[in-house]
Amino acid sequence: MTLSQEKLGRLRAFLGALPAGVAARLAAAVEADSQIKASGLPHAVILEALRPKLAVVNGGSAHDVPTEAELVISELDQLADAAGFRLRDDHANLVEVVGLLLERAPHEIAKAMPARARGSFAAIRLPDLSRPVSPEFVETAARYARLMAACRTDSRVASLAAELADASRHVLSALRSYAADMVREKRASVPSRAELVDAQFSTTMALVTILFGKSEAEALRRRAQTVEAYAS
C-alpha cells in the first residue's frame, strides 16, 4: 500500500499521539495482520511509528511487539475493572471473573463490527459503514480475543472449557458473517467506502488470527482476493 508524503505525515502524527497502552495493542494487531501477508495496511510504516510508544511499554526496548500472552496477563485486571467486576487474589474469584468476561466477549467483540438493523422487525443485519469504528472498540475487541485465546491453554480456567467453547462458536460465526459482508462490499466496489471497508476487513482478519489461527484467516482472505480479482 502506497501513501503520499502528506498522508504518511498525518498517519505518523496520529500514531505518535496515541497513549502507550493503545499503541501496544494496535502494534500487536498490526503484527498479527502482517503475519498473514495482508496487503491492505502499511504495516512497516505503522509499526515504525509506534516504536517510541512500545519503548514505554517494554521498559526501554522499542523493538519488541508485546506478545498476546503478555497482554492478556496484564489486561485481565483492566477488563474486569471496565466490566465492573472485582478481581481478587484467589483462584475461585479468578475463575468466576473470567467466566463472566467470557459471557461478555461476543458482545464486546461485536462492537468492532458495527451493524444496522433493516427489514420487518429488524430481522436483517447489515454492516454499518457510515463512520469509522472507534479505536477504543477495536482495542477492547482485541483484548477479549486475546483473553479467549489465553483461556485455551491456561490450566487455572480449565473448568470454563464449555463457556469458552460457547463464546468461541458465537464469535467465529459473527466474524465469518462480517467477513462475508466485507467481501460483498468489496465486490460492490463503491469508491467512497473502499478505505473503510479495507480497514474493517483488516480488523476482522486480525481478530480471526488471534482467536482461530492463520489458516482460518488465510481462507477468508483468499476468498476476498478472489472477489477483488473478479470485480476488477
The residue type at 193: R
Residue 62, pLDDT > 70, answer no
Residue 68, pLDDT > 60, answer no
Task: Report the share of the chain in percent with pLDDT over 70.
Answer: 77
How many of the other CB atoms lie within 10 Å of CB of 88? Answer: 11
Buried b (16+ CB within 10 A) or exposed e, 175-214: bbebbebbbebbeeeeeebeebbbbbbbbbbbbbbbbbee
What is the pTM (predicted TM-score) of this model?
Answer: 0.66
- The pLDDT value recorded for residue 120 is 55
> DSSP class of residue 115?
E
- The pLDDT tens digits of the residues spanning 153-209 come to 888 888 999 999 999 999 999 998 888 888 888 777 778 888 888 888 888 888 988
Residue 133, pLDDT > 50, answer yes
Averaged pLDDT, 120-134 = 73
Residue 71, pLDDT > 50, answer no
Domain ranges of the chain: 1-65, 67-72+103-231
User: ∠150-72-67 over CA atoms, to 5°?
Assistant: 90
Averaged pLDDT, 60-77 = 54
- The pLDDT value recorded for residue 232 is 55
Residue 122, pLDDT > 60, answer no
- The pLDDT value recorded for residue 5 is 80
The residue type at 204: T
Residue 32, pLDDT > 50, answer yes
